[in-house]
Amino acid sequence: MAANTSITQTSGAISFSEIKAAYTNTSTDNSISSYRNVNKFEPGQTTSGSNTPSGTISFSDFYNSVDSQEVVLNDGQTNIISSQYPRGGCAGAGVQGVNVRVSSGNISVFAGGWMADYLFVGNTSFSTTYGGTSHTSYGPSGNKIWVAGVSHSTTTSNNVVFGSHGRDTPTVVMHLIWNGDTLKGQVIFNCKGQTYPAPGQVGYVTLYNDTIGGVTVRDRTS
């Protein structure tokens, strides 16, 4: 199943065919009553959405909405970089064993080692020794991210710090981009621990720019 891309209009006369196009995973019946108590998603929402009325229902209840769906993140690990030094505009900074992991819907960026101000720590193993969670799942089932059937804006994680020494603080942030069918991740490294994006930023380097594991898109009510 792919996410719906058709959102109903925000006002005025709305047709039943428009509702059916936006709620393709909900019902195929040609009756408005079959769309009672259906979860819907409005653009800009970051939660699980709301439901249509369970009793009296009208066409106006479907303004500016789409069938609420969810992205189920499959657990897995993606190894990104064995060793890169120097990296990110700092002569004495780098990373080792960088890997991205998905576990129960949480996305983490880890490293087996890091370099800062010419100090080498750890090794090239793709372990969980350094780093931590970049994105925490939300949704009642724990391993799901609710999505509307439209392209989402990029969500950016807080800093994930690998370590710090002297003048350097090897750090990454992760962007998550949902385009309606795939979840893409961008891991961006900074050797100074700056909050992304920072004025006068030093040495931002993209370490990874690809899909994050496997995802399944399905109707929220299934």
Q: What is the pLDDT of residue 156?
A: 76
Residue 28 in this model has a pLDDT that exceeds 70: no
Average pLDDT of 198-210? 77
Average pLDDT of 97-113? 91
Please give the Cα distance from 205 to 215 (Å, whole number).
26
Output the pTM of the full model. 0.69
Could you read off the pLDDT of 166-177 as tens digits, one per residue? 999 999 998 877
Q: What is the pLDDT of residue 150?
A: 37
Please give the Cα distance from 52 to 32 (Å, whole number).
11
Highest mean pLDDT among 8-17, 47-56, 89-98, 213-222: 89-98
Of 29-43, 62-76, 131-145, 189-203, which range is least confident?
Answer: 131-145
More confident residue, 83 or 216: 83
**Three-state DSSP class for residue 119:** strand
Are 74 and 215 spatial neighbours (Cβ–Cβ below 8 Å)? yes
Could you read off the pLDDT of 113-130 as tens digits, one per residue? 999 999 999 999 999 999
Please give the Cα distance from 94 to 84 (Å, whole number).
6
Q: What is the pLDDT of residue 194?
A: 85
Are 193 and 49 spatial neighbours (Cβ–Cβ below 8 Å)? no
Q: What is the pLDDT of residue 43?
A: 64
Average of per-residue pLDDT values in the chain: 79
Which residue blocks in the chain are alpha helix, DSSP H? 16-22
Least Cα distance to 25 among 216, 215, 219 occurs for: 219
Least Cα distance to 110 among 93, 91, 92, 130 occurs for: 130
More confident residue, 23 or 120: 120
